[in-house]
Structure 1
């Protein structure tokens, strides 16, 4: 387990991290997600030992890595680090990249490299290749094997999949998550990709302006974001003003049950697009399709209704009967999230 307590960092007079606290359990995967400039990379560099915080404490297991009296340098922390695009040594072959830093004999290192390559599903014959001779996905696996070679207690991943093609990114991410889980290594992934964070992690920490706005499970932060900015950052969201009372929000769509029944008054509520059910040929239509943006699997429908102050755009599964001018009924599944004021 690694625990950060009250970590702060300034560069000149600019506060980059402001009193951050976070706990990552052994063997778990945490994704730190936020917009550019929110402090993600600085936090990762502090954890790795490349930067020194101004205040706070970092404890890995039962070992203090940083406090007001202690600073353990990067090479003594036992933390693995996989940077963006892998950063393999171009003048060293794949096997030598993985063996970098190993202290055993030549034969021991060779066996360890073969073991690590099998662990990350790489053909051992690639050990004699140069980094530029293998694919981007293979390079990322080599970088991961190199980091795992040191048997780290914690793995730090700095947007390691961002340079890969979409299909390869998903496959490499899944393989990496499975591998780290099997190895029992606690992992912290830094990314600006919301979908990547939600699919990879068991815990999401949303950072904005140097502070965590919300920490929780992927389902919790996605379905119950604390505020509007967090809701919109984590995916498509529909935000409505509403009058909330007795566990029900009254808005332009009608009465919607809410997930925070104790909250009342004039509020703003959030629904995710997948909660919106659109029925064609319904005997009691409530809206008209005025535009269809077809993108294959999904379509974005622009809907209007005399009861709505503005048009509503809803992303939904494509169907042949989504036609401009068609009358439909809009229904809601589940509960709306009441956002913080």
Structure 2
């Protein structure tokens, strides 16, 4: 549906985007995730038509939006844009915000506003309120309705949930994903929150220093990251040096099957915390709990063993019987991922 090919952008002597290419399919949800300063928002603004790349090509449903000979301005692209915190017009009431840009008659616009408010699960009585009189989550839905009013084929979302508290953020994110899927509108969300990215996306593009380090499904990039930096950015991970041979990694935790059996030699391997099963062990006492950091549902255990060069910190579901000095055993489920150097 939308294709980016070899997009690059500099501000002065600083390269912000470096030869990026990406495909987004119709009605899909792509998340561009990366740390602050990695180029996420610049790329989104280029897609919207607010910035111009230095080189490359952008096409939307077969129409060229940008190349060395073409530039279609933002208002002609058929792309919706929801910025951070909604950016509603404070001098307009909710209904007027949603109707902004509609070209129908007063009665047609009134009906369209009511339809859009119903679509985003807003009480139509709120159309007579000022933006400051409604909640943050409601403001985000108004911003989404305003963007949907233009019937875009692609929706761009620039960290639109960042100002919301944790519970409201998750609920609004889920409602937005469901709404866009129901409307059949493709979307691109940028965020630095890995949990948000994994929850929202059907495709994730991890960006670092202006380049995509990995593009794939949430399950793929989480379980099979290409390198250690990508692995750690997407969630808690355990890293080990290992000797890999014949489909197994020999490391401090023992012999573990790997997901890339064709590899051999000295490598770094990764396990996610949920792959480690901890059980009490009244026998060998080779592994003991040296610290418990309880945070409610999850705890961080520090585990020690004479056979390890350094203690192992493991975040896992809390258990009441854990205590400092307790001997435990570890078992590994699934396969370790072998990481690029």
What range describes the TM-score normalised by the shorter chain of this pair? over 0.9
Structure 1 residue 283 displacement after superposition: 4.0
2:232 aligned partner: 232
Q: What number of residue pairs does the alignment pair up?
A: 341
Asked if 2 retains the 8 angstrom alpha-carbon contact of 1:5 and 1:57, the reply is yes
What is the correspondence of 1:289-328 to structure 2 with a 5 Å cutoff?
289-328=289-328
Structure-1 separation of matches of 2:95 and 2:36: 35
Structure-1 separation of matches of 2:17 and 2:320: 50
1:134 aligned partner: 134
1:109 aligned partner: 109
Structure-2 separation of matches of 1:62 and 1:310: 55
Structure-1 separation of matches of 2:316 and 2:55: 47
Structure-1 separation of matches of 2:283 and 2:303: 17
What is the SS of the residue equivalent to 1:331?
strand
Go from structure 1 to structure 2 and tell me whether the alpha carbon gap of 1:104 and 1:282 turns closer, same or farther (over 3 Å shift). farther
Structure-1 separation of matches of 2:70 and 2:171: 40
Structure 1 residue 320 displacement after superposition: 1.1
Structure-2 separation of matches of 1:252 and 1:293: 23
Structure-1 separation of matches of 2:63 and 2:184: 18
Structure-2 separation of matches of 1:286 and 1:28: 49
Structure-2 separation of matches of 1:20 and 1:26: 20
2:335 aligned partner: 335
1:4 aligned partner: 4
Structure-2 separation of matches of 1:120 and 1:320: 43
1:241 aligned partner: 241
Structure-2 separation of matches of 1:169 and 1:270: 30
Structure-2 separation of matches of 1:282 and 1:30: 48
Q: TM-score by structure 2 length?
A: 0.99
Structure-2 separation of matches of 1:257 and 1:167: 38
Structure-2 separation of matches of 1:99 and 1:7: 34
Go from structure 1 to structure 2 and tell me whether the alpha carbon gap of 1:246 and 1:156 turns closer, same or farther (over 3 Å shift). same
CA deviations 1:18-56 (Å, max 9, x no partner) are 100000000000000001110000000000000000111
2:85 aligned partner: 85
Structure-2 separation of matches of 1:179 and 1:275: 34
Asked if 2 retains the 8 angstrom alpha-carbon contact of 1:280 and 1:321, the reply is no
Structure-2 separation of matches of 1:167 and 1:282: 41
Asked if 2 retains the 8 angstrom alpha-carbon contact of 1:286 and 1:330, the reply is no
Go from structure 1 to structure 2 and tell me whether the alpha carbon gap of 1:288 and 1:66 turns closer, same or farther (over 3 Å shift). same
What is the correspondence of 1:164-183 to structure 2 with a 5 Å cutoff?
164-183=164-183
Go from structure 1 to structure 2 and tell me whether the alpha carbon gap of 1:63 and 1:282 turns closer, same or farther (over 3 Å shift). farther
Q: TM-score by structure 1 length?
A: 0.99
CA deviations 1:105-151 (Å, max 9, x no partner) are 00000000000000000000000000000000000000000000000
Structure-2 separation of matches of 1:231 and 1:211: 16
Asked if 2 retains the 8 angstrom alpha-carbon contact of 1:269 and 1:336, the reply is yes
What is the correspondence of 1:189-228 to structure 2 with a 5 Å cutoff?
189-228=189-228
Structure 1 residue 284 displacement after superposition: 4.8
**Structure 2, unpaired ranges of 5+:** none
CA deviations 1:216-254 (Å, max 9, x no partner) are 000000000000000000000110000000000000110
CA deviations 1:296-318 (Å, max 9, x no partner) are 10111000001111000001111
Structure-2 separation of matches of 1:317 and 1:51: 45
Q: Which runs of 4+ in 1 moved over 6 A?
A: none
1:60 aligned partner: 60
Structure 1 residue 286 displacement after superposition: 3.7
The two structures, once aligned, show a CA RMSD in angstroms of 0.7
Structure-1 separation of matches of 2:63 and 2:204: 24
